Structure 1
Amino acid sequence: MCPHAPSTTPSTTSTSPENIVIEEKAQLDFSQSMSYGDYLQLDAILGAQKPRSPAHDEMLFIVQHQTSELWMKLMLHELHGAIARVASDDLNPAFKMLARVSKIMEQLVHSWDVLATMTPPEYSAMRPYLGSSSGFQSYQYRSIEFALGNKNAAMLKPHEHRADLLALVERAFVAPSLYDESLRLLARRGLPVPQSHTSRDFSKPYEASDDVEQAWLMVYRDPQRYWDLYQLGEELIDLEDAFRLWRFRHVTTVERVIGFKRGTGGTGGVSYLRKMLDVVLFPEIWKLRTDL
């Protein structure tokens, strides 16, 4: 038979209208199996928006912050996985997880574009209904800051009203950060990272070190020899770069919507957020770019 000739064997699958209807009915009946909504718990998620004001725009405000918290949940999942991988010298999976964290931060940067459609009068109409609630109180965001090394004991206080949440944040506060584990990895590889930075009290704010920079300089001056550590350094830079953009977009959106009013949680609002722009998470890897 010519290989291009149509087969004369009857098809076992009929495409008659009757069979298509039967097939569609089979695909549309989820009474005996898990549906899309069941799997994603959409009743709980879509029922979690409870506006407190009569303002039309409050729905935007709620959805913006709820979706951000969902992205932060994934970010913490990936960060914890990456930290554990770095601690066990298993860098390739860590690189994938860190790259995903950077992409999540990019997603969060763009989410501010949606909130920025809220004008000052629209926000003012709903603000009295927020009470003292504030993104400053996000325990997931604080856990991300701690996991990235920005340790500040004062940031535990906003969570003291919930013992369970305080325990989660305290655990992140005392644990080695991603950068701490990266420096410990460099030391295990024989690079001259001082013990003051590998066996320190990890709840204390990180202090930059010329010795740590020299260790990173060895990596960056010989990337072929230290390729995976060199790649780790660049993943950390990607991560902080994305984090800076997220913070900056937060500041500009808040200033656009409320100006320099104090935040609902009692912070200085824009003035506080601007100070956060000066925080450097991985100082030696930034400084070595000047010193190379």
Structure 2
Amino acid sequence: MTYDPSKDGAQMDFRQRMSYGDYLQIDQILSAQHPLSVAHDEMLFIIQHQTSELWMKLALYEVNGARQMIAQDRTSEALKMLSRVARIFEQLNSAWDVLRTMTPSEYTQFRDDLGQSSGFQSWQYRLIEYAVGNRNLAMLKPHEHRPDLLELLEAELARPSLYDEVLRRLSRTGLNVPEAVLQRDLRQAWQFDEDVLKVWAEVYRDPSKYWEAYEVAEKLVDFEDYFRRWRFNHVTTVERVIGFKRGTGGTAGITYLRRMLEVELFPELWRVRTEL
């Protein structure tokens, strides 16, 4: 016999109740795709980027939550959030696999319709980079046409980054983080610091003594590991689809993206491995 869920108590009438679609605003989400061409693959391109922006929104939410917890010396709560950020970037990595099913010929059918829009103009991606410490002030310019976004990015630059908060927490626990690091200009991108490397080397040489710092360090490495993979997958996908053409936003395309692969978010945490 055909199964009727209502006979087991399932609600079936939503004329006076909030439904799944109401709660998630599904109609609004599913009506946000507006291809500018008749090319079949443009829908894939739009949805892949829109879903990536949703995952980035969650990544920002979790990074900000972790940063707040660390500032309040509630590190154990931050660890769960940092683990989630790494898993989010694992999902973002998987998205490239879907986009890579689009061939160069298929992308060519609608690429011109994109105009000068480009992924490097993503303000959420910029916020993520700023939040974790890669504070390139030159990248404010693509957002100057939106005062609200510029204000948001400037506010982020005025805050300690996630890495800054971690180092401040290390200092509060008694580790010898240099005062110059603790008082540094927050608007500037993080630069490798030999004395910070020595602090992390002390932590890694005796994990049981500095377990909290050790665990936080490994969560940061987890995140940057997935973040690097995301950048690498981006490069590979772009090269597979457009080769060495310039990006739609005017960047050097593959050359620009490969330069981004050289950026280290937490350089001391990678170089400390050589010290042990």
Interval of TM-score (by shorter of Structure 1 and Structure 2): over 0.9
Taking a change above 3 Å as real, the CA distance of residues 26 and 150 of structure 1, as seen in their structure-2 partners, is closer
Taking a change above 3 Å as real, the CA distance of residues 21 and 259 of structure 1, as seen in their structure-2 partners, is closer
Matched, 1:60 2:44: yes
Shift of 1:24: 7.0
Q: Hey, what's the Cα distance between the residues in 1 that align with 2:118 and 2:125?
A: 12
2:31 — aligned with what? 47
Q: Conserved in 2, the CA contact under 8 Å of 1:143 and 1:173?
A: no
Among 117, 120, 123, the residue aligned to 2:104: 120
Deviations 1:157-182 (A, max 9, x none): 00011111111122222321111111
Taking a change above 3 Å as real, the CA distance of residues 26 and 278 of structure 1, as seen in their structure-2 partners, is closer
Q: Hey, what's the Cα distance between the residues in 2 that align with 1:43 and 1:217?
A: 52
* SS of equivalent residue, structure 2 residue 11: helix
Shift of 1:23: 3.1
Among 89, 92, 102, the residue aligned to 2:76: 92
Matched, 1:32 2:16: yes
Q: Hey, what's the Cα distance between the residues in 2 that align with 1:283 and 1:82?
A: 20
Shift of 1:190: 1.3
2:249 — aligned with what? 265
Write the letter of the residue equivalent to 1:137: Q
- 1:124-163 map, 5 Å: 124-163=108-147
Q: TM-score, normalised by structure 1?
A: 0.91
Q: Hey, what's the Cα distance between the residues in 2 that align with 1:174 and 1:158?
A: 19
| Alignment coverage as a number of residue pairs | 275
Q: Conserved in 1, the CA contact under 8 Å of 2:243 and 2:254?
A: yes
Q: Hey, what's the Cα distance between the residues in 2 that align with 1:213 and 1:118?
A: 43
Q: TM-score, normalised by structure 2?
A: 0.96
1:74 — aligned with what? 58
Percent identity of paired positions between Structure 1 and Structure 2? 61
Point out where structure 2 has 5 or more consecutive residues left out of the alignment.
none
2:272 — aligned with what? 288
Q: Hey, what's the Cα distance between the residues in 2 that align with 1:145 and 1:163?
A: 19
Shift of 1:25: 9.1
Shift of 1:20: 5.6
Taking a change above 3 Å as real, the CA distance of residues 20 and 223 of structure 1, as seen in their structure-2 partners, is same
Q: Hey, what's the Cα distance between the residues in 2 that align with 1:277 and 1:180?
A: 22
Among 208, 218, 224, the residue aligned to 2:192: 208
RMSD: 1.5
Write the letter of the residue equivalent to 1:140: Q
Write the letter of the residue equivalent to 2:83: A
Q: Hey, what's the Cα distance between the residues in 2 that align with 1:252 and 1:54?
A: 26
Deviations 1:22-45 (A, max 9, x none): 637962111110001000001100
Q: Hey, what's the Cα distance between the residues in 2 that align with 1:22 and 1:144?
A: 45
- 1:161-180 map, 5 Å: 161-180=145-164
Q: Hey, what's the Cα distance between the residues in 2 that align with 1:207 and 1:117?
A: 38
Deviations 1:119-174 (A, max 9, x none): 11111110111011111110000000111111111100000111111111222223
Q: Hey, what's the Cα distance between the residues in 1 that align with 2:231 and 2:97?
A: 13
- 1:224-243 map, 5 Å: 224-243=208-227
Taking a change above 3 Å as real, the CA distance of residues 22 and 45 of structure 1, as seen in their structure-2 partners, is closer
